[in-house]
Chains A and B, each alone.
Chain A
Amino acid sequence: MNSFTFTQAPAVDAAVQESVAHDGAAYIGGGTNLIDLMKENVARPTHLIGLKKLGLDAIETLPDGGLRLGALATNADTAWHPEVEKRYPLLSQAILAGASPQLRNMATDGGNLMQRTRCYYFYDLATPCNKREPGSGCSAIGGYNRIHAILGTSEQCIATHPSDMCVALAALEATVRVSGPHGERTIPFEDFHRLPGTTPHLDNTLMPGELITGLDLPAQGFEKHFSYLKLRDRTSYAFALVSVAAALELDGNTITAARLALGGVAHKPWRDQAAEALLVGQPATVDTFRRAAAKVVEGAQGYGSNDFKIELARRAIVRALKQAAEMNQELDSNAFLNSNP
């Protein structure tokens, strides 16, 4: 680790000012990603700004029926908050599918959004990596890329965003609340993370000095029909190879609302609204789910070791939608079986 100084910021304004005043300053939430990267010398902040005293750890109901998650609420407290468990169980399930109990007790909701890719070359200072060192090249293209992206990649970077929580937040249409040197603003979740393009060193659209203060969830929680399906090399404590957040509203067997987002496949949580549109108004059958799945992987591209992810994603989408539809439903299960080819 490099040398740095540390301050515990007393308030949001003070934290932002500290950040503007110090070249190379970084906010620190739980530290589970930043300290790891500092130990590897991938991150080399000169000044750390602690956020624990900002009073941003509350989870509160909003007047419009939504829920506000403070940026410093821990992943564990969020997943096990009674309102989240009851009204946004998809979010609960996604958080609990990630990391370990110890890490979830430390990790903050703001920090989770900001966690960096797990691309092995990004972590290895001895190899070229455009994300770590712009212009140096991408070692994953033509290298080992089993965990890498199949959608929205560029010739400069094929890294994935590793979060589980963010896949659920994308499906639930959360809003990110931000405070910065130029005041406050909100960012729709869809616009928060970005694709690599020619500037893969930028993971998201946060501006320098900006601090995430919270996340707002809209009232619609899809608590009746949802699934977070995470596929990985072992069934616990591993990052997703492919994950799917599926959420449905059903009227009888007809889909009246649908959300579909994927993790482990792109530089950002991959929500596909065109695929969602193919679900709405249709009967909840495997045939319908297959059409949506085909739409999602339409433009997918493998890079060798990760080719398997395309078929894996397609099947995972069908299964997650099926799990979501079958929840809380007095099912005519034959409707599903009969539509199998």
Chain B
Amino acid sequence: MSPVTQVPAERPPVALAPTQPITLHINGQDHFLTIAPWTTLLDALREYLALTGTKQGCDHGQCGACTVLVDGKRINSCLSLAVMQEGADIQTIEGLGTEENLHPLQQAFIDHDAFQCGYCTPGQICSAQGLINEGKAKTEDEVRELMSGNICRCGAYSNILTAIMEVLGNKEDGAEVSNAPMPKQEWSAGAARAEMGPVEPAK
């Protein structure tokens, strides 16, 4: 063996963490798993439960492809451990609609061509459902800001926005969106657009 591949004699063998039994409640069903604690929720879904609708992009919380809903709130499943989600109500894209009976967001994404390759789409749709549950975004600018956790490599942003605005609009006719209006003070990014001009000439 070359010195590079040889394991030094004094190094102890790597001890594997014991697996532990957990129950995950996903899309209305209990799933029993025996897994190592390092398994992320994303890997548990994809590798152990064949729920491959949830996608892995960056694996570091930066792209949103892995977005799922936990107790109605959108999270990045790549930065959560499966063992941390016992007892939670997890919803993935597989639980949002069926092929025969599409979720309104799924239908709107199709109607408005809100994707090209489709890789980011499950994450976009779960995130949009989370946004609707939050009830904070009403205007296009607010939806853009509150969808910024989902990156689309194909740049389908404008159609994604149109699709979400349509579903939001339909909601407003119904009863579900009833939250307080956004505060007048710009809360998202600091500088108001009108103030972007140079105010401070260098001395």
Residues of chain A having any CB pair with chain B under 8 Å: 1-6, 8, 28, 30-32, 35-36, 38-39, 48, 50, 52, 76, 80, 85, 89, 92-93, 96-97, 99-103, 105-106, 227-231, 235-237, 243, 311, 314-315, 318-320, 322-323, 327, 341
Find out whether the CB atom of B148 lies under 8 angstroms from the CB atom of A100: yes
Contact B149 A314 (CB under 8 A): no
Which residues 73-90 of B have a CB within 8 angstroms of A? 73-76, 79-81, 83-84, 86
**Given A3-B16, A76-B73, A236-B145, A106:B79 Cβ within 8 A:** yes
Knowing that A89-B187, A100-B61, A231-B191 are A-B contacts, what are 12 other residue pairs whose CB atoms are under 8 Å apart, sorted by A's residue number? A2-B38, A30-B79, A35-B81, A36-B79, A38-B38, A52-B84, A97-B188, A101-B74, A101-B130, A101-B147, A102-B64, A319-B200
Closest CB of chain B to A331's CB: distance in Å? 14
Q: Which listed residue (B79, B145, B146, B201) contacts A341, Cβ 8 A?
A: B201
| B4 contacts A by Cβ under 8 Å | no
Residues of B within 8 A of A231 (CB): 190-191
Q: Does B117 contact A (CB under 8 A)?
A: no
B residues lining the A interface (CB < 8 Å)? 14-18, 20, 36-38, 40, 59-61, 64, 67, 70, 73-76, 79-81, 83-84, 86, 127, 130-131, 134, 136, 144-150, 183, 185, 187-192, 195, 199-202
Cα–Cα, bound, A153→B18 (Å): 43
- A-B interface pairs (CB < 8 A), number: 136
Q: Closest residue to A93 on the B side, CB-wise?
A: B187
Residue of B36, B146, B149, B195 most packed against chain A (CB within 10 A): B149
> Which chain A residue lies CB-closest to B68?
A102
Q: Determine the chain B residues whose CB is within 8 A of the CB of A228 once the complex forms.
A: 190
A104 CB to nearest B CB, Å: 9
Q: Please pick, from B37, B73, B127, B191, the residue contacting A4 in the complex, using a CB distance under 8 A.
A: B37
**CA gap between A102 and B73 in the complex, in Å:** 8
Given the known inter-chain contacts A35-B81, A314-B200, please indicate yes or no for A102 contacting B185, CB distance below 8 A.
Answer: no
A35 to B83, CA, bound (A): 13
A227 to B191, CA, bound (A): 9
- Kindly report which residue of chain B lies nearest to residue A243, judged by CB atoms: B190
B58 shortest CB reach to chain A, Å: 10
| A46 → B minimal CB distance (Å) | 9
The reply to whether A28 and B130 contact each other, CB–CB distance below 8 Å, is no
Give the residue name and chain of the A residue nearest to B85 (CB): A52
- 18 sample A-B contacts, Cβ–Cβ < 8 Å, listed by A number: A3-B15, A4-B38, A31-B79, A35-B80, A36-B60, A80-B136, A89-B183, A93-B187, A93-B190, A101-B134, A101-B149, A102-B61, A102-B75, A103-B149, A227-B190, A230-B190, A311-B202, A319-B191
Distance of A52 Cα from B70 Cα, bound (Å): 14
The answer to whether residues A89 and B190 also contact, given A39-B60, A100-B149, A102-B76 and a CB cut-off of 8 A, is: no
Smallest CB separation, B33 vs chain A (Å): 14
Contact A6 B80 (CB under 8 A): no
- Is the Cβ of B80 less than 8 Å from the Cβ of A31? yes
Using CB atoms, name the residue of chain B closest to A311.
B202
Inter-subunit contact A36/B127 (CB<8 Å): no
Report the Cα distance A265→B14, complex, angstroms: 41
Given contacts A48-B37, A89-B183, A319-B199, is CB(A35)–CB(B79) below 8 Å?
A: yes
B130–A102 touching, CB < 8 Å:
yes
With both chains docked as a complex, state the minimum distance between the C-beta of A193 and any C-beta of chain B, in angstroms. 22
A92 and B187 form a contact (CB under 8 A): yes
Complex A-B, nearest 7 residue pairs according to Cβ-Cβ distance, in ascending order: A100-B149, A6-B37, A236-B148, A315-B200, A229-B190, A230-B190, A3-B17
Contact A3-B38, Cβ < 8 Å, known A35-B81, A101-B74, A102-B75: yes
The chain B residue sitting closest to A289, CB to CB, is B200
Given contacts A48-B37, A237-B149, A315-B200, contact A97 B189 (CB under 8 A): yes
Report the bound CA distance from A282 to B131 in whole Å. 44
Residue contact B149 to A96, C-beta cutoff 8 Å:
no
